[in-house]
A and B are shown apart, each in its own frame.
Chain A
Amino acid sequence: MNELQLKVLELLKEDARRDADLIATLLGAPAEEVKQAIAELEHNHIIVKYATIVNWSKVDDEKVTALIEVQITPERGRGFEGIAERIYLYPEVKSVYLMSGAYDLLVEIEGKNLKEVASFVSNKLSPIDAVLSTKTNFILKKYKQDGIIFEEHEGDDRLMISP
């Protein structure tokens, strides 16, 4: 990864809708090089997807999210990979992290309501042979995600004109 690619990533992380021309201007780099850098980042799946961060709590049809701490027995030869895959292939599962500490996987699950999440845990997750235990933590409110504060005070408190 070269320096230009890193800078491009930073700018896209702030706002994924910025096009290559704008990024080139901001960085003082030739537009062609920036286009090339973005293409490579996409090709190498460093840029995985351009998605939108949504504050679902403002959407009427609200969702329930839970973080589930999962303890598992690793498989011989494959470690945690196989079990992790069996878990993350479920569409209800939004993210899966391998963790150090008291448990092994942190699984984020999204459902329409509490019951749906609970049923997923008891019917899908817990029955997996390698799963030793689960601990479900429901998220009550999201304040900040991926470095972005949800209810940040918007607007500019500065005087319109100052010397």
Chain B
Amino acid sequence: MIKEEEELVRTKVKRQAMTDYLTPSVQNIKPSGIRRFFDLVNTRKDVITLGVGEPDFITPWHVREAAVYSLERGKTQYTSNAGLPALREAIGQYLNDQFQTPYDPASEILVTVGGSEAIDLALRALIVPGDEILIPEPCYISYSPITALGGGVPVGIETFAEEKFKLKAESLQAAITPRSKVLILCYPSNPTGGIMTYEDWLPIAKVVEDNDLIVISDEIYAELTYGTKHCSFSAMPGMRDRTILVSGFSKAFAMTGWRLGYACGHPDLIAAMLKIHQYTVMCAPAMAQYAGVEALTRGLEEKDRMVDAYNQRRRLVVKGFRDIGLECHEPEGAFYAFPSVKATGLTSEKFAERLLEEGGVAAVPGDVFGLGGEGHLRCSYATSVSNLAEALDRIGGFVHKLKQG
């Protein structure tokens, strides 16, 4: 009887628009604020952009050459679903050497199409509709929409400039309800440049343990820390089996367009993610995987050279913003500065729009990154020193003009 009724509804209600075919969860995804700003920037010429969330370096030649060589040898087939054994071996070795996070290449490492796919897989594997997913903010813009797509409820946890945008145990604890299941971490942070140290993690690990949470730790910027070596959440005592570590090649090796990432974790979790991965994408692109092996086995020096260059530019922008009179906490990771524009009395959005119009500099308004982002501006320093100097000049001129009234 109920079935018949459903059938009746199906035949009776004629859909009015193409969008009526879409699922509510897709319809409910709001277009990202970044997208809107992107369209605006594209209408302008002679703009210096600090809005780019990727390295300005081109993938080192020896890495590109490894991919070319793989094509020459005809390595154009599917690889195993989990990724080339040689690549998984290299990832295992690299993670252990660099961050003391050992994973078994055979059962605990999955090669994905960028870190993004790994996040998607993890959330799909974990979310039961109604589950609450805890997300410290401001943060990378895709965690909430992917959560919502799976029927999860994103719960933002605000972090603050005065605390260098670190996640605090009290804020985490306060956000927890009986439905809390997953905590998504992204340190070093896009957009704030904030990092978490071993000492910072300790109380967080306790809350995770006490509340039986599982953690997706997006450590894509792990290599880009300045002064302190990155501390992986998975390296914290007792956290390894509770953590799905997500990372990739994009930021550390300047390989964004290759779409190559990976997830590491407990064999049962990785096996579950592999199930989805094998049916949805089969495997990451083979030529990218061969390039990945080269990057991990022979690309670390080149990586260090790039990190050095980011560090120099970081000092330049932080000093630049402070000289201009915009408060800027010291970013210790990634390649973003997140200065406050509150002193100008403008909202993030208004400031970014006017800076674009009147100053000819593009940067992303902080509010698009969620709670705690309002009043800030995300400025990527992954661009040349001369570009940065010119951008700072223009921003200085613009802010000065604002102050004049």
Contact = CB atoms under 8 A, between A and B. Distances in A.
A80 to B, nearest CB: 35
Contact of A162 (B53, B312, B316, B319): B53
Contacts of A156: 56, 383
B300 interface: no
Nearest to B227: A28
A160 B41 contact: yes
B313 A26 contact: yes
Contacts of B386: 15
Nearest to B53: A162
Interface residues of A, number: 15
Contacts of A25: 315-316, 319
Contacts of B319: 25
B294 to A, nearest CB: 22
A163 B349 CA distance: 16
A11 B315 CA distance: 14
A163 B54 CA distance: 8
Interface string A120-163: 00000000000000000000000000000000000010111111
A16 interface: no
A9 to B, nearest CB: 14
Contacts of B54: 158, 162
Contacts of A22: 316, 385, 389
B32 interface: yes
B51 interface: yes
Interface in B16-45: 32, 34, 37-38, 41-42
Contacts of A46: none
A39 interface: no
A161 B52 contact: yes
Interface string A22-61: 1001111000000000000000000000000000000000
Contact of A26 (B32, B56, B312, B364): B312
Contact of A163 (B32, B42, B49): B32
A109 to B, nearest CB: 32
26 contacts: A11-B312, A15-B386, A22-B316, A22-B389, A25-B319, A26-B312, A26-B313, A28-B315, A158-B56, A159-B38, A159-B52, A160-B38, A160-B41, A160-B42, A161-B37, A161-B41, A161-B49, A161-B51, A161-B52, A161-B364, A162-B34, A163-B32, A163-B34, A163-B53, A163-B140, A163-B190
The 10 closest A-B pairs by CB, nearest first: A161-B51, A26-B312, A161-B38, A162-B53, A160-B41, A160-B49, A28-B315, A163-B141, A158-B52, A163-B34
Given A156-B56, A159-B38, 5 more contacts: A11-B312, A15-B385, A22-B316, A160-B42, A161-B362
Interface of B: 32, 34, 37-38, 41-42, 47, 49, 51-54, 56, 140-142, 190, 312-313, 315-316, 319, 362, 364, 383, 385-386, 389
Interface of A: 11, 15, 18, 22, 25-28, 156, 158-163
